[in-house]
A and B are shown apart, each in its own frame.
Chain A
Amino acid sequence: MNRATVWGWGDDFEAVKTNSEKYVSKRWKETTKECAIGITAKERYEGTSFYITAFTSDPKKVGELADRLLDTALGLKGDVKVDFVTIVLSEDMVSEKELYRDNSEHVEEEYRRCEKALVAKVGANPKMRAKVQGKKIVVIPEIALTCELESDYANKVIVDATDSDFTRLKNFIHSLSEGLIKEGLAKSTVGFKLYEDVEKLKIEDIDAEGDEVYVWLV
């Protein structure tokens, strides 16, 4: 696997295309099957971190794809900082293994189940009993959501985001997906996957407001 960072915060915007094309011209071999272009970024008003990954098997498209992905990420609402743009060349069709096919209703139900389980877990914790007795427990777990998007321009586009608020996370993924579709980089949403592990999540902080106790879990 060949990997390189082709753009970082502070570089001229135009450099992403030039650097991507340069890298591909040097490293794309006959055995290379696919290139993954990765954006690592965060939306700093709401504190959502996210990744966009686009896959292509056409070396001539890499530069423009990287440029348009960066453009789309920076054009999102809010204060977006893109830390890097990375290129990974692979001799496998990696995108064929990136499958996220749950529908949004399933994901919502899964989150609510997780939420209920976490409320029960917090309530049953002997160290928490005195703090939560007689109050409503509001759990705030860190959760990650992945969305698979179909594309005519790329082989596939994947969006990942992490946040501590499910509604905010869902809205962000929706907004980002819409942006990619509007820019012609994706065609439609295929499905989702929610990442949460009730067993592994640990209580990090707790605070009370009125008759509610807020419990942050990571």
Chain B
Amino acid sequence: MGGGSAIKQSERRSHQGESVQGEYSSKEIDCQRGGPKAKKILGKYEIHKTGDGYELLKGGEPIGWFSVAVIEDDRVVYPLSHGISLEVSERGSREILISEKAELCGLIASDGGIYSTKAHPHHEIHFSSKDRELVERYNELFKKVYGIDPHHHYKKKSTGESYFESRAYYKGVYFDLLDLNIKPGAFKFRVPLMHLDRDGLRAYLRGFFSGDGYITKDGELFRIGLQSTCKEGLEELQKAFELLKFHPHEIHLWEKEKPKWRDQYHFSIPTYEHMRFIKEISTYRPDHLKKLGEIERRYKSRENKG
């Protein structure tokens, strides 16, 4: 009964025996190349360069050692695994998501799900869209963060409309995402604000916007916004924008007059912040990209006219 050590059994249960390694974004470098200073102090924390790595101390006591560190003016970031990094600054320490994982979480929050229910057993992580490009982007991110290729499906409804799906069944991945509380219940989502630095916030918003964002053309001008049936999630998206120094408008109910089974809420970004939105957040949806391109052309044309 049972074969192999407890560690191997755990690996088998978590990752089905595969070696799972996340890839880190290109800006996370081994700082030996950059020749950092021997010691950096950030509040209670000290980072000491040792022969082959970096020692982290808190209040003078060693708390960890890392082979790789990204040293910035006001923080140090240590890549960990599965798309998580440890960020140490004067404000304290926290685990943050790398951009790829943040974007993946944004996509799942809008058009995906994580399930372990009667209808969806086997610890399922799921994403579906009418846009093949979005599903391909999701698969690319999933592979980068977890080293796993999800299963691809192509679903057709009887009317002939087709939808692309990506499904993965991995307990370890399921519990990893569950811990982040990105989908706390049916038809709900939350933004893992505590785990997002500025790059993470932008990436998460890009992922979410690629699913549930909208760009409407009103006359000759455009409106950029996000919508959802989950008001609490939208409030956290607003907070995410505010942390990036945007000034999103208030959240509104789409239809105010009549009570509906599940109300639909939305908020928009002021027109004067559209160019910033294009530069810092943007989208992966093809139809969005066309409209953002048009917004950019109009803005440049206005600038040229003075």
Contacts and interface: CB of A to CB of B under 8 A. Distances in A.
Interface of A: 3, 5, 8-11, 13, 15, 38, 40, 42, 44-47, 49, 51, 71-72, 74-75, 79-81, 83-84, 86, 88, 138, 140, 142, 144, 146, 160, 162-165, 195, 204-207, 209-210, 212, 214, 216, 218
A209 B220 contact: yes
Interface centre among B219, B254, B260 (most CB of A within 10 A): B254
Interface of B: 111-113, 115, 119-120, 126, 128, 130-131, 155, 157-161, 163, 186-187, 212, 214-216, 218-221, 223, 225, 227, 229, 249-250, 252, 254-258, 260-262, 264, 266, 268, 270-272, 287, 298
Contacts of A209: 219-221, 298
Nearest to B165: A10
Given A5-B186, A45-B287, A83-B264, 14 more contacts: A8-B187, A11-B120, A47-B223, A49-B264, A71-B157, A74-B163, A79-B130, A81-B111, A84-B229, A160-B258, A162-B264, A164-B216, A164-B223, A216-B223
Describe A's contact surface by its main secondary structure. strand
Contact of A47 (B187, B225, B255): B225
B31 to A, nearest CB: 42
B271 A205 contact: yes
A59 B257 CA distance: 29
Contacts of B262: 5, 40, 83-84, 86
A107 to B, nearest CB: 15
A40 B113 CA distance: 18
B257 A144 contact: yes
A2 to B, nearest CB: 13
Contacts of A214: 218-221
13 contacts: A10-B112, A13-B157, A49-B254, A71-B159, A81-B111, A83-B264, A84-B261, A140-B219, A144-B256, A144-B257, A204-B249, A209-B220, A214-B221
A218 B252 contact: yes
B216 A75 contact: no
A164 B218 CA distance: 7
Given A8-B187, A45-B287, A218-B252, A40 B216 contact: no
B255 A71 contact: no
Q: Which 9 A-B pairs have the closest CB atoms?
A: A75-B159, A47-B214, A47-B216, A86-B261, A207-B271, A10-B113, A162-B254, A49-B254, A140-B218
A10 B161 contact: no
A214 B274 CA distance: 15
A3 B112 contact: no
B189 to A, nearest CB: 12
Contacts of B187: 5, 8, 83-84
Given A49-B255, A204-B268, A138 B158 contact: no
Nearest to B128: A10
Nearest to B160: A75
Given A74-B159, A162-B255, A205 B268 contact: yes
B261 A195 contact: no
Contacts of A42: 214, 227, 264
A51 B131 CA distance: 23
A74 B161 contact: yes
Given A40-B262, A214-B221, A218-B252, A47 B215 contact: yes
A68 to B, nearest CB: 9
A10 to B, nearest CB: 4
A128 to B, nearest CB: 15
B238 to A, nearest CB: 14
Contacts of A195: 255-257
A88 B298 CA distance: 47
Given A8-B186, A214-B221, A83 B271 contact: no
B19 to A, nearest CB: 29
B228 to A, nearest CB: 8
A75 B257 contact: no
A75 B157 contact: yes
B196 to A, nearest CB: 24
A51 B257 CA distance: 13
A216 B298 CA distance: 19
Contacts of A40: 229, 260-262, 264
A210 B298 CA distance: 11
A8 B112 CA distance: 11
Given A204-B268, A212-B220, A44 B119 contact: no
Contacts of B260: 38, 40, 51, 160
A216 B155 contact: no
